[in-house]
Amino acid sequence: MTIAHPAPIMLVTGGSRGIGAATARLAAARGYDVAISYVERDAAARAVIADVEACGRRGIAVQADNADAADVTRLFATLDRELGAIDVLVNNASILGLQSRFEDLAPDRIRDIFAVNAIGSMLCAQEAVKRMSFRHGGKGGAIVNVSSAAARLGSPFEYVDYAASKGALETFTTGLAKEVAKEGIRVNAVRPGHIYTEMHASGGEPDRVDRVKATIPMGRGGQPEEVARAILWLAGDEASFITGTFLDATGGK
């Protein structure tokens, strides 16, 4: 008699579009039950979950803002109740401001970007560790933080604040990976480069990837699905001895 094992459970923050949506869909295709969080795009979030369910997997979409600690607590409580114990957290939710020189950035913008991209990811990781860690009776798990090539390149004249928030996320990745390595949790990060997503419109230049693609050694921008494959690899058993690592998905830049 074959014993059915429960599907692993993945939470993708910011899962209604771009890299997050591609990750949720690929995870379902590979056998995960999937939860996503989103802030405003209700119809898009429902469409992602419909695709998850079309793969025969369970899926839920929870409206929750990474920058709101109460929302993060509620997000994980909903996940516990509706799907079960989390196996993989993908910290994907991010925001971007209009392209600008650093000296012209308003303090509120800088705070908001760090609140979502860095602090929000840290809050989500706290909740995940409390559930995954052997210290808390968990079964282990994986956290994949979605950083950016901007953390290495700095994004001068465009998004220095965004780049700095991703740099903070990378330092956090290194520290947390070492802290929980013996507790069954692996923590890694993916660095997407110039990827065709709607996020560039938030920066005021929807066609930014086409403008800069000549500077990419592979001569093209990337697709969200290409980053999703890197995320799923880091999340899975093939990366079982890998933690505290950064995987560039940048076309060589």
Catalytic member of 32, 159, 162, 196: 162
User: For 170-224, how does the pLDDT look when each residue is reduced to its tens digit (9 = 90+)?
Assistant: 999 999 999 999 999 999 999 999 999 877 666 777 788 888 888 899 999 999 9
Q: Which fold has domain 9-249?
A: Rossmann fold (3.40.50)
3-class state of residue 205 by DSSP: coil
Please give the model's pTM, rounded to 2 decimal places.
0.95
Alpha helices in the chain (DSSP H): 18-29, 42-54, 69-82, 107-114, 121-132, 150-153, 160-180, 199-202, 208-212, 224-235
pLDDT, residue 1, reads 46
Q: How far is residue 230's CA from residue 23's CA, in Å, rounded to a whole number?
A: 9
Q: Give the pLDDT confidence of 97-122 residue by residue, as tens digits.
A: 999 999 999 999 999 999 999 999 99
**What are the backbone dihedrals phi and psi of residue 10, each rounded to the nearest 5 degrees, phi first?**
-120, 140
Task: Please tell me the number of Cα atoms within 13 Å of 156 on its side-chain side.
Answer: 1
pLDDT over 70 percentage in the chain: 97
Could you state, in order of their start, the residue ranges of all structural domains in the chain?
A: 9-249
What pLDDT shows up at residue 206?
77
- The per-residue pLDDT for 231 is 98
What mean pLDDT comes out for the span 133-139? 97
* Residue 93 predicted with pLDDT over 70: yes
Q: Is-catalytic flag, 196? A: no
What is the C-alpha to C-alpha distance for residues 182 and 180, in angstroms, rounded to an integer? 6
